[in-house]
Amino acid sequence: MANIQRRLDDRLTAAIRGLFPEAADAPAIVMQAQDERFGDYQANGAMALAKRLGKNPRDVAAEIVAAADLSGIAENVEIAGPGFINITLSPDWLAAQLAEVLADERLGVPSPAQRQTIVVDYSAPNLAKEMHVGHLRSTIIGDALVRVLDFLGHTVVRQNHMGDWGTQIGMLIEHLADDRHVWDAVLDLPMRGERCIPRSLLPDLEVFYREAKQRFDSDARFAQRARMRVVDFQTPGGSESREVWKRIRQTSLAHAQEVYERLGVRLKPEDVRGESAYENALFDVIVALMSAMENGPSKYTESEGAQCVFLNDAEGKPRFVSKEGDPLPLIVQKSDEGYLYATTDLAAIAFRTGFFKELASGPDGSPEAQSPQADQILYVVDARQSLHFRMVFECAYQAEFADRDKHDLKHVDFGMMLGSDNRPFKTREGGTVKLMDLIDEAEGRAFDLVTEKNPDLPEDDRRRIAHVVGIGALKYADLAQNRTKDYVFSWDKMLSLDGNTAPYMQYAFARIHSIARKGGLDLADLVRHPAADEGFALAEPAERRLAVALLQFAETVETVAADCLPHVLCGYLYRLAGAFMGFYETCPVLKSEKAVRASRLRLCGLTAKVIEKGLNLLGIETAKRM
């Protein structure tokens, strides 16, 4: 089935191998043509190949074209400029491919050559704080990747690595302990299931947390007590500190789950395996590190009372240095014996790859767990943690918690969400923006928009559509940007009905439904597999353009998965919707004569299906009416 780009690449590569065995590894470099005048695809490999062979690039291109078997696929192959190969696909071949895609539940997307088990580590909010925009990107991007990888056919293991352990929480608990009323109020919270805990506690906790942090930073005695409190709440048994910890944790979990449900994110309570879950594995990590580093180029040592790994390359030179050029240690245990963020991440890697076959039940009461034996682990985390992950990954490889050839550890980093002033996105008062408030506002603004367009629709319907549009706009605005860059958040832009936005895509989808309705048809009628003598007629340039765009869904999804770049899918959907609008303007559908009408209705139906699936992979819903 269709991944056109790869199919062409395979044919041209085969030609290169046959012609030039001395340069058999030379790539054909096939890509989608940027300009229609140059055909549908372009191969640019002849130039580099010619240079390598000491030949004229146009001659090399001509030899490749003569030898390549593109019969049936291409209608026209031309050599242009210094040695570009321009390929125009044959309309008959396109029509046959479309008929196959129409009959295929996967819309032409092939299964991966190798099914993998992929852990996606995303969202990961911290305890005692309401979720804020800082976790929005991780949650949305991570969820889109989960959906894409799952659709391709990989085994996807979602992991919510919540920050539920450590000094911060010690501070908070110590601070709460100073106020008997608050302390008792927390202890009185019921502890059955996750939902019975009132989340109204959370805004207060956040204030307490800020106060605690201030005291910790300014009062050495408080800081000392807070550290002792860490030991107290981390020790199993029924201490009050521990009971308080459990309640704060449950409250935070219930809140996060509420956010996920409103956002339509796939994370479930059972996907939470927070930092605390690795508690019983941390000592083993230290032991394994000590023995692994004994004979290697890296060193496990004590430095200023802390246990550190100095990561070196094979020649013994430091892999990570500070700006001043000093070797940077990866600290795994503090002088007070407490473990760190890095230690927990190392334990998590060892568990996820299967170096640790199982995880004992954690202090949070999580059951014992078997390693997912991941082939790949994706960390959807802020770019500012890049050094942390580079060091942790390197350490994990050197300690053989992961194998460089077998386990792909990838930091899927992302930039910041900025306000219109190009500074980090904040409330008018300069505070962090809470995710719940952002969601409320998105739905509220979408509701106004929907009401303006359909004042006569019953309010329930308008609310339902506003949810689909508002959440869709919020997600799409984020996903449409190259994740590695910062982006400026703008309500007006993301709710606009034209441009690369969710409402634009959703509108295109609704429009196709209305075409079907006008013809007295249902969308399902449009996409029924045609009989052999029907199929697609692609006489008009706009029909042809739409056909090519529809068939590029497969290669788009594969690229998104390979590079973890959801914006590639947004860009594709935007082009597809544009091709559809162009087609709809120039090619009458319902008024055409029978065979043409049927083909055009099928193009409409298939476009709706691809848009729906594409948005679904981004975690965005559609509505038949808007």
Q: In the complex, what is the shortest distance from the CB of residue 141 to ligand ARG, in angstroms, rounded to a whole number?
A: 13
The count of other CB atoms within 10 Å of the CB of residue 406 is 11
Torsion of CA 535, 540, 542, 548, to 10 degrees: 50
What tokens were used for 176?
Answer: 């709460």
Residue numbers at the binding site for ligand ARG (CB under 6 A): 121, 124, 126, 161, 163, 345, 348, 379, 381
Q: In the complex, what is the shortest distance from the CB of residue 417 to ligand ARG, in angstroms, rounded to a whole number?
A: 15
Task: Report DSSP state, residue 354.
Answer: T
Nearer to ligand ARG, 148 or 381 (CB): 381
Contact 439, 259 (CB under 8 A): yes
Q: In the complex, what is the shortest distance from the CB of residue 330 to ligand ARG, in angstroms, rounded to a whole number?
A: 14
Nearer to ligand ARG, 161 or 475 (CB): 161
- Read off φ and ψ for residue 625, nearest 5 degrees: -125, 145
State the amino acid at position 621 in one-letter form: E
Strand-pairing partners, residue 331, are 308
Contact 102, 530 (CB under 8 A): yes
Nearer to ligand ARG, 435 or 577 (CB): 435
Q: Where are the beta strands (DSSP E) in 140-253?
A: 155-159
Nearer to ligand ARG, 124 or 272 (CB): 124
Q: In the complex, what is the shortest distance from the CB of residue 370 to ligand ARG, in angstroms, rounded to a whole number?
A: 19
Nearer to ligand ARG, 10 or 408 (CB): 408
Q: In the complex, what is the shortest distance from the CB of residue 348 to ligand ARG, in angstroms, rounded to a whole number?
A: 6
Contact 251, 188 (CB under 8 A): no
Q: In the complex, what is the shortest distance from the CB of residue 163 to ligand ARG, in angstroms, rounded to a whole number?
A: 4
Nearer to ligand ARG, 277 or 505 (CB): 277
124: left (phi over 0), alpha (psi -120 to 50) or beta: left
Q: In the complex, what is the shortest distance from the CB of residue 347 to ligand ARG, in angstroms, rounded to a whole number?
A: 10
Contact 243, 187 (CB under 8 A): yes
Q: In the complex, what is the shortest distance from the CB of residue 121 to ligand ARG, in angstroms, rounded to a whole number?
A: 5
Q: Half-sphere exposure of residue 39, counting CA atoms within 13 Å on the CB side?
A: 21
Report d(CA 604, CA 230) in Å as an integer.
61
Q: In the complex, what is the shortest distance from the CB of residue 263 to ligand ARG, in angstroms, rounded to a whole number?
A: 17
Task: Return the residue matching tokens 């044919």.
Answer: 11
Q: In the complex, what is the shortest distance from the CB of residue 125 to ligand ARG, in angstroms, rounded to a whole number?
A: 6
What tokens were used for 239?
Answer: 């201490």
Q: Where are the beta strands (DSSP E) in 25-140?
A: 30-32, 41-43, 74-80, 84-89, 117-121
Contact 350, 285 (CB under 8 A): yes
Specify the 3-state DSSP secondary structure of 30: strand
Specify the 3-state DSSP secondary structure of 81: coil
Report d(CA 440, CA 463) in Å as an integer.
12
Nearer to ligand ARG, 320 or 341 (CB): 341
Report d(CA 292, CA 347) in Å as an integer.
14
